[in-house]
Amino acid sequence: MSAKNKAVFLDRDGVLNKELGDYVCQVEDFVVLDNFETLKTLQDKGYLLIVATNQGGLAKGWYTENELAKMHAHLRQLYKEHGVEFTDVFYCPHHPNFTGDCDCRKPKPGLLLQGIAKYNIDPSLSYFIGDRDRDVEAGTAAGVTGILINSDQPISEVLHLIA
């Protein structure tokens, strides 16, 4: 049996890009935060970097899958220019008021469980950095250590919490 991977799951809005209120709806408003060096350090320590984000604006019709893909391509490209590769981006397109209940919208652990299964991740060696209590709750439910930061807080300030 192959060894399991370790990962740092990352919320998107308020962690990787500037928090702009309810939703970032277009790539022109997508401001990437400078966490390049910190995420490169984690990557160099052998962590897979996986984005796990609620995107209820899709269910509300505020932006399209195409616009979301542009935002994620922009995010990936800027980080790639600094030597950082995201292993994957998982997102929940649902919103309970528009699409009903689902298993992937945080605080449920569905997004993390998808990543754990797809990339053979050991949850006990992994972390989830988010700026909302629901992120920590999702991490805990998936067996991953949750780390709560303030919106737009540099990840470097919590790097010491990751083994």
Asked whether residue 74 is assigned to any structural domain, the reply reads yes
User: Band of the pLDDT at 9, cuts 50, 70, 90?
Assistant: very high
Interatomic CA distance for residues 36 and 125, integer angstroms = 22
Domain count, the chain: 1
Q: How many CA atoms lie within 13 A of 25 on its CB side?
A: 10
Which of the two residues, 46 and 95, has the higher pLDDT score? 46
Asked whether residue 1 is assigned to any structural domain, the reply reads no
Asked whether residue 69 is assigned to any structural domain, the reply reads yes
- For the ranges 5-14, 29-38, 58-67, the one whose mean pLDDT is highest: 5-14
Residue the block writes with tokens 């962690």: 15
Q: Does residue 7 sit in helix, strand or coil?
A: strand
Asked whether residue 29 is assigned to any structural domain, the reply reads yes
Asked whether residue 33 is assigned to any structural domain, the reply reads yes
Residues labelled catalytic:
11, 13
Whole-model pTM? Answer: 0.94
Query: For residue 118, what are the domain limits?
Result: 7-128+138-161
Mean of pLDDT over the chain? 93
Find the CATH number of the domain harbouring 154: 3.40.50.1000
CB within 8 Å of 160: residues ≥ 6 apart: none
Averaged pLDDT for residues 2-7:
91
Instruction: Convert the pLDDT of each residue in 10-37 to its tens digit.
Output: 999 999 999 876 666 677 778 899 999 9
Q: Which residue intervals of the chain are DSSP H helices?
A: 36-44, 57-60, 65-80, 96-99, 110-118, 133-142
Q: By the 8 A CB rule, do 130 and 146 touch?
A: yes
* 99: amino acid identity, one letter: T
Interatomic CA distance for residues 10 and 131, integer angstroms = 10
Interatomic CA distance for residues 81 and 126, integer angstroms = 25
* 72: amino acid identity, one letter: H
Write down the pLDDT at residue 25. 66
Asked whether residue 36 is assigned to any structural domain, the reply reads yes
Q: By the 8 A CB rule, do 106 and 137 touch?
A: yes
Interatomic CA distance for residues 44 and 64, integer angstroms = 34
Asked whether residue 2 is assigned to any structural domain, the reply reads no
Q: Which of 13-27, 41-55, 73-87, 108-122 has the lowest mean pLDDT?
A: 13-27
Check pLDDT > 60 for residue 127.
Answer: yes
Asked whether residue 53 is assigned to any structural domain, the reply reads yes
